[in-house]
Structure 1
Amino acid sequence: MIYVVTEKELELLACLEKSSRLSVDTLAKLLNIEVEEVKKMVGKLEAEKIIVDYVTHIDWTKVKEHTGLTAMIDVKVTPKHGVGFDAVAEQIYRYSEVKSVYLMSGTYDLSITLEGKTMGEVAMFVSEKLATIESVVSTTTHFILKKYKHEGIIYEKNDDDKRIVVTP
């Protein structure tokens, strides 16, 4: 369902998207409204599932004990009559290893992001769980080797701008 939101609610959403750690007091000052109004707006937006979650981004490459890896899997699917791709996508996103599922345009129908401890673990997921789903026609698996930028956050920021300066 699509909701109509006010201008202040749009401003609030933009502030929270940039930093979900902002306090209600800070948000009230930024939006030039009362704290109670911010609380009311946040409650409404959470109830309508417009605000879905408050997420922390962690650079796991800096944590020695972390041994996981991320795979992106492209999936060709035969859509089911009456439900299209939704039923297959739901079957896939119910697995705990799956972090995201997107319906895509182009060569593949679904794009899946999956986390596992080893390449073998990801391979087992693809061969034993994903490939056995009736509507799945084929898969292509890609492993993320290094993150440079993720959801607007630059990892390993280097202040030395090495781009060539172009002047007219």
Structure 2
Amino acid sequence: MEPKRELLELLLSNARESPTDLARQTGLSETEVESGIEKLEADGVVRGYQAVVDWHNVDDEHVQGEVELNVELDRETGYEEIARRIAKFPQVVSLRLVSGDYDFAIDVEGNSMHDVSNFVSEQIAPIPEVTQTVTHFVMETYKERGIEFEDRDEDDRLSISP
């Protein structure tokens, strides 16, 4: 594996590892690791560092929704312009152009289902090019960004056999 790719894989796995530990794992010098990371950041390959949060273990109310969005393009408006408008909303956590039955996949967050629902109906749906939205609320997260949340309670539902 090339050093750049190996460094990226290690950063994805744990971005808090020290340059010393990364150097040991890659066989590069600490200076090479530090300059490699600086270059990845300067080139826009690494755009930021974030914690993976298990909202199930946080006392505050937090709701995540996944929104399927269909749009109708015209001669003046393309996907990029629509994406720029939608990405500006702070409730939008991720926005992707996708293939399949809908055009955009949007991850949104709010303090309640009502907040997320209002955001979609009052901010996203009225965009002139938007033809359809479907919102799915996240009920439970078992894995996020490669991290498994293994400390969940066992399913206590009773199985029913005919």
Normalising by structure 2, what TM-score? 0.88
* C-alpha distance in 1 between matches for 2:105 and 2:132: 12
Q: Do structure 1's residue 52 and structure 2's residue 9 form an aligned pair?
A: no
1:5-16 maps to which residues of 2 (within 5 A)? 7-16=2-11
User: Do 1:80 and 1:87's aligned partners in 2 also have CA atoms closer than 8 Å?
Assistant: no
1:75-94 maps to which residues of 2 (within 5 A)? 75-81=69-75, 84-94=78-88
Q: CA deviation at 1:38?
A: 1.0
Task: Give the alignment partner of residue 57 of structure 2, picking from 52, 55, 62.
Answer: 62
Q: CA deviation at 1:18?
A: 1.0
* C-alpha distance in 1 between matches for 2:117 and 2:34: 46
Task: Give the alignment partner of residue 72 of structure 1, picking from 53, 66, 72.
Answer: 66
In the alignment, which residue of structure 2 is the partner of 1:106? 100
Partner of 2:128: helix, strand, or coil? coil
Partner of 1:71: helix, strand, or coil? strand
* C-alpha distance in 1 between matches for 2:28 and 2:65: 44
Task: Give the alignment partner of residue 20 of structure 2, picking from 22, 25, 28.
Answer: 25
Partner of 2:65: helix, strand, or coil? strand
Q: Do structure 1's residue 118 and structure 2's residue 101 form an aligned pair?
A: no
Task: Give the alignment partner of residue 129 of structure 2, picking from 135, 149, 164.
Answer: 135
Deviations 1:51-78 (A, max 9, x none): 11112111121122x2010011111101
Q: Identity of aligned pairs, percent?
A: 33
Q: CA deviation at 1:81?
A: 2.5
CA distance 1:101–1:71, shift in 2 (3 Å): same
Partner of 2:66: helix, strand, or coil? strand
User: Do 1:71 and 1:122's aligned partners in 2 also have CA atoms closer than 8 Å?
Assistant: yes
User: Do 1:9 and 1:41's aligned partners in 2 also have CA atoms closer than 8 Å?
Assistant: yes
User: How many aligned residue pairs are there?
Assistant: 153
* C-alpha distance in 1 between matches for 2:143 and 2:28: 34
Higher relative contact order (CA 8 A, sep 6+): 2
Task: Give 1:126's aligned amino acid.
Answer: V
Partner of 1:145: helix, strand, or coil? coil
Deviations 1:141-168 (A, max 9, x none): 110001111221111357x9xxxxxxxx
Root-mean-square deviation over aligned CA pairs = 1.8
CA distance 1:80–1:39, shift in 2 (3 Å): farther
